[in-house]
């Protein structure tokens, strides 16, 4: 039977069964939808059985399809493990390319990568800065850290890292100027509207004249120079607060968004991704707890 069964058709069938969609299967296999449909039809003709039924916009496996899928899943996973072992044996570890928003990279991630590199010497993280849509293929990106303030697509794998907390900060020990300014970033155009609508900061702060800068790190530098009170993420000013350079000017509050780790492929397909993902979660949790507890301590 195997000698006349189209093996390529089995691969196409497996991907359709895995994702329940010809469109997604075609995207993952980098072929056209018609090519996938043709392979499935040829396989059904050879086997003389129906493998799928259409339920709404999704494909569902028939009973015979479920039996074949279970067999394919077992074999393809074993084959994938074998190929991975063959291609990685006796080779130096490849770089893991990470895309991350500039200020989070500069103020939060980079200071922590030293610890990660010491713990996991076999994982070589290459950091690219960027925001918004991730160019996975164009820039060979493996992972990306983004907030969920845009649609990254249903075919992208994601895992939540931490809730976003925002806070107002200004220069520690400084006398605030009479013409106080509220420093915001243009990289989050809806932030001020969200602050106002959900009353996330005091009326007094909202009454200040707005000064909009391009990036969060510019807002932080402006606050350090006593040019006003900056609205920033707690993760971006952890070091400045700890060193007594900046002080809280409001209560840290969740703004409704969160940080996610994104991948074009499943995290489990690369053990390095799993290691880095779990390490990031621990780091974000530690930062969140430290910053919130420190705010409570300042109130005492």
CB atoms within 10 A of CB 209: 9
Q: Is 209 found in the same domain as 133?
A: no
Q: Is 271 found in the same domain as 155?
A: yes
Q: Is 171 found in the same domain as 111?
A: no
Domain count for the chain: 3
Q: Is 128 found in the same domain as 108?
A: yes
Q: Is 267 found in the same domain as 199?
A: no
Q: Is 82 found in the same domain as 60?
A: yes
Q: Is 168 found in the same domain as 115?
A: no
Q: What are the distances in angstroms from CA 255 to CA 188, 233, 272?
A: 12, 10, 31
Q: Which of the residue ranges 50-54, 107-111, 193-197, 264-268 would you say has the lowest mean pLDDT?
A: 193-197
Q: Is 31 found in the same domain as 152?
A: no
Point out the domain boundary residue: 70, 89, 108. 89
Mean pLDDT along residues 227-240: 95
Q: Is 138 found in the same domain as 287?
A: yes
Q: How far apart are CA 140 and CA 152, in angstroms?
A: 17
Residue 30 located in a structural domain: yes
Point out the domain boundary residue: 32, 58, 89. 89
Residue 92 has pLDDT above 80, yes or no: no
Mean pLDDT along residues 118-126: 93
pLDDT (tens digit, 9 = 90+) per residue, 163-211?
A: 999 999 999 988 766 568 999 999 998 888 888 887 888 888 989 999 9
Which residues span the domain enclosing 265? 95-162+258-291
Residue 76 sits in a domain whose CATH number is 1.10.10.10
pLDDT band at 158 (very low <50, low <70, confident <90, very high): very high
Point out the domain boundary residue: 89, 123, 142. 89
Q: Is 193 found in the same domain as 153?
A: no
Residue 47 located in a structural domain: yes
Residue 187 located in a structural domain: yes
pLDDT (tens digit, 9 = 90+) per residue, 59-77?
A: 999 999 999 999 999 999 8
């Amino acid at each position: 039977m195997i000698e006349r069964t189209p093996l390529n058709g089995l691969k196409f069938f497996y991907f359709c069964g895995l994702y329940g969609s010809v469109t997604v299967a075609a995207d993952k296999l980098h072929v056209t939808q018609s090519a996938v449909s043709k392979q499935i039809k040829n396989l059904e003709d050879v086997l003389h059985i129906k493998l799928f039924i259409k339920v709404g916009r999704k494909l569902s496996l028939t009973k015979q399809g479920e039996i074949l899928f279970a067999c394919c899943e077992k074999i393809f996973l074993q084959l994938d493990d074998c190929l991975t072992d063959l291609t990685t044996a006796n080779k130096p570890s490849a770089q893991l390319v990470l895309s991350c928003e500039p200020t989070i990279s500069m103020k939060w991630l980079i200071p922590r990568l030293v610890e990660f590199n010491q713990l996991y010497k076999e994982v070589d993280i290459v950091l690219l800065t960027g925001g918004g849509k991730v160019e996975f293929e164009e820039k060979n990106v493996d992972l990306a850290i983004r907030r969920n303030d845009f649609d990254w697509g249903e075919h992208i794998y994601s895992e939540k890292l931490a809730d976003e907390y925002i806070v107002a900060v200004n220069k520690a020990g400084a006398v605030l100027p009479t013409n106080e300014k509220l420093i915001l970033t243009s990289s989050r155009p809806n932030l001020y509207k969200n602050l106002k609508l959900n009353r996330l900061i005091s009326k007094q702060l909202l009454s200040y004249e707005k000064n909009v800068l391009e990036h969060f790190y510019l807002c932080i530098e402006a606050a350090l120079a006593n040019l006003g009170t900056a609205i920033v993420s707690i993760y971006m000013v952890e070091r400045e607060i700890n060193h007594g350079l900046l002080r809280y000017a409001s209560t840290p509050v969740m703004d409704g968004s969160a940080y996610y780790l994104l991948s074009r492929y499943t995290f489990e397909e690369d053990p390095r991704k799993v290691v880095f993902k779990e390490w990031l979660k621990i780091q974000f949790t530690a930062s969140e707890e430290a910053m919130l507890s420190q705010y409570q301590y300042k109130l005492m």
